[in-house]
């Protein structure tokens, strides 16, 4: 049943996407499913999207030119604000390396994926989550440090060899829309080692990892950052 009052109050979600387009498509689906489930009928989300060419961003990541990457994403955020977005999300964990540049470029709110994930980790009572993500996200302080210091979460990361495996699968397979059962088996092996070492939950800390792994694969809490971030966007858009 059409509910014009609810639709009229919906806020517009601004997505900075394309990093990769695969996970951006996941966000689009999850956000629209979330709005449909909350409002029913024919409702879908009001979304403005600026999708970047990931090849350019990936070159900046490899070269360490994060300042230039930040300028690119900040420009996308300003474009979304001018287009009518009420909130900004970066649809990738790694590119939260430049979250401060993006948030400061606009006057509208910015939802940080690590903050949304931390809230869910605390809600579930997990104490020692394992982070699986790109090497940038697992090894640099912008993400790990935020969870450990700002949110006081005792985060675990795999050892160097396992981090290399996780990173390679993301960049050589998942961002190219390739799902390989052999890679899933390698991820599961890594997770089992870390669980024996004390991990009590798993963070899918790359927005494509949910393509490869499912919470139903494990008997511990799993935190799919793409799903958590998308839900945070829905909550914002539908808040009265």
pLDDT per position in the chain (240 positions), as tens? 333 444 558 999 999 999 999 999 999 999 999 999 999 999 999 999 999 999 999 999 999 999 999 999 999 999 999 999 999 999 999 999 999 999 999 999 999 999 999 999 999 999 999 999 999 999 999 999 999 999 999 999 999 999 999 999 999 999 999 999 999 999 999 999 999 999 999 999 999 999 999 999 999 999 999 999 999 999 999 998
pLDDT, residue 113, reads 98
Q: Give dist(CA 55, CA 39) in Å, integer.
A: 37
- What tokens appear for 110 in the block? 């910015």
Cβ–Cβ < 8 Å for 60, 69: yes
pLDDT, residue 7, reads 53
What is the SS3 assignment for 14?
A: strand
Domains of the chain, earliest start first: 4-112+228-238 (3.40.50.1860), 113-224 (3.40.50.1860)
pLDDT, residue 8, reads 55
pLDDT, residue 52, reads 98
pLDDT, residue 130, reads 98
Q: Give dist(CA 225, CA 117) in Å, integer.
A: 6
Cβ–Cβ < 8 Å for 104, 88: no
pLDDT, residue 2, reads 36
DSSP state of 108: S
Q: Which residues lie closer than 8 Å to 90 by C-beta, 6 or more apart?
A: 16, 19, 73, 96, 99, 102, 113
- What tokens appear for 10 in the block? 């919906």
pLDDT, residue 9, reads 86
């Amino acid at each position: 049943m059409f509910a014009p009052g609810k639709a009229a109050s919906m806020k517009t979600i601004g997505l900075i996407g394309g990093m990769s387009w695969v996970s951006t498509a996941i966000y689009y689906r999850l956000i629209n499913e979330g709005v449909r489930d909350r409002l029913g009928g024919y409702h879908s989300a009001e979304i403005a999207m600026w999708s970047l060419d990931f090849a350019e961003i990936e070159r900046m990541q490899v070269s360490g030119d994060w300042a230039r990457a930040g300028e690119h994403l900040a420009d996308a955020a300003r474009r979304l604000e001018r287009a009518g977005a009420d909130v900004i999300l970066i649809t990738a964990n790694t590119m939260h390396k430049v979250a401060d540049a993006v948030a400061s470029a606009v006057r509208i709110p910015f939802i940080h994926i690590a903050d949304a994930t931390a809230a869910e980790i605390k809600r579930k009572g997990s104490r020692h989550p394992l982070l699986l993500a790109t090497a940038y996200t697992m090894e640099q302080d912008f993400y790990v440090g935020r969870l450990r210091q700002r949110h006081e979460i005792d985060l675990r990361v795999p050892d160097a060899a396992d981090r290399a495996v996780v990173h390679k699968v993301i960049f050589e397979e998942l961002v190219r829309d390739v799902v390989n059962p052999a890679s899933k088996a390698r991820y599961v092996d890594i997770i089992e080692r870390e669980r024996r070492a004390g991990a009590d939950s798993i963070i899918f800390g790359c927005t494509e990892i949910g393509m490869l792994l499912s919470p139903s694969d494990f008997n511990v809490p799993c935190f799919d950052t793409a799903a958590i971030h998308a839900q945070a966007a829905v909550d914002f858009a539908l808040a009265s």
